[in-house]
Chain A
Amino acid sequence: MNDETQLKLQAYLDGELPSAERNEVEALLAQDADAKALFAELGNTTKALAGFEAGIKLPESREFYWSKIQREIGRQPAQTQRPAPLFAERLRRLLVPASVCAAAVIAVAIILPQLRQQGVVLTDSDDAGIFTYHNYEAGATLVWLDYPAENNFADIEVDDIFDL
């Protein structure tokens, strides 16, 4: 008996075999002693397990068991409910990085023409957040990175990721 036939026998026992294949398995059971024995073994395991859990009792008194549940239920709201950020706080989170960027753009717009007049080159690269300052007379190069300091991932809590 190959693997596929064995699994078909099991599917037949569990009522999960498509009707088209049932006749095939019934014929096998009628003529093959090994198939019949395996089928009986699988069925006996199922019968042996029937009612097994009914005999398992909780080894704690009703009161003791309930007391922990009650305590946790009473504690939950304070622990799980995250207060929504105030409107002012949300506005602050949005405006601070935006205003820093705006200030940087204005500063560059004002300073760049003046620097060009003084023979200094200020270039911006493909990355909008990087500005490079060259002063050929002084032989100096300054690279300015304008990335926001806030880390958005810090706002994510473990509960948000592993939602049970």
Chain B
Amino acid sequence: MADKDYSSTSDEELVAMARQGDMVAFEELVARHRDKIFARAFTMMRNEEEAIDLSQEAWIKGWQRLEQFHGDSSFTTWMTRIVINLCLDQLRRRKKRQTESIEEMNEESGGVERQMPVVTVNPTERLERADLRARIDRALNQLSDVHRTVLVLHEFEEMEYKNIARTMNCSIGTVMSRLFYARRKMASLLADLNKQE
């Protein structure tokens, strides 16, 4: 195994080797997908340090639970779900510490977004990708945890409403309402950023 070229080995093979206790194989998996796992944690948490810690915790859990990975999805999808669960746990703990509550969130999504004027400017037009990314970054910071989470699960994780509802322990109606609010808020924030510049 010493001559094995890990960099050209597929994820599936690396997982099989890691299951046998090959830490070098697991390190290669970490190196390959660390940006993606960190990015998901950062998008959800909006805090770099916390995102690094949670992504590392996800890798540790991944190693411990390799036996439970049956290849039904890709390894990165499986790892992404682990980091999302860790982020959700952390957000729940954070919410307990803050005054923010589910009830307040429900109130927030109970009609405000319906009164917002429709944004007619497409934020992706006439913008360099880097500029747009910076704007989205700032806009995501201004969303509440629950609205950002529902947006991440739908837009990045491509989860269906019913799966988001299960993950966030709420009804499908609440998911739809929160997603609607999050999208409209993002459109409004991106339009405001357009005006400011």
Chain A: residues with CB nearer than 8 A to chain B? Answer: 3, 6-7, 10-11, 14, 16, 34, 37-38, 40-42, 44-60, 62, 65-66, 68-70, 72-73, 76, 80, 164
Query: Which residues of chain B have C-beta atoms less than 8 A from A66's C-beta?
Result: 27, 30-31
Can you name 20 extra interface pairs (CB under 8 A) apart from A7-B177, A45-B190, A69-B60? A10-B176, A10-B183, A11-B161, A37-B118, A41-B119, A41-B120, A42-B180, A42-B184, A44-B122, A44-B124, A47-B122, A48-B190, A49-B156, A51-B129, A55-B129, A56-B35, A57-B38, A65-B34, A66-B30, A73-B60
Contact of A58 among B27, B35, B186 (CB under 8 A): B35
With CB as the reference atom, state the residue of chain B lying closest to A49: B155
With CB as the reference atom, state the residue of chain B lying closest to A38: B118
Query: CB-defined interface of B12-35 with A at 8 Å, one 1/0 digit per residue?
Result: 000000000001000100110011
- Check if B36 sits within 8 Å of A10, measured CB to CB: no
Q: Could you pull out 25 A-B pairs where Cβ atoms are within 8 angstroms?
A: A10-B176, A10-B180, A11-B161, A38-B118, A41-B118, A41-B120, A48-B132, A48-B190, A52-B133, A52-B136, A53-B39, A55-B129, A57-B38, A57-B39, A59-B52, A60-B52, A65-B52, A68-B56, A69-B56, A70-B23, A72-B56, A72-B60, A73-B23, A73-B63, A80-B64
CA A55 to CA B36, docked complex, whole Å: 9
- Chain A CB within 8 A of B6 CB: no
Output the least CB separation between B187 and chain A (Å): 5
With CB as the reference atom, state the residue of chain B lying closest to A55: B133
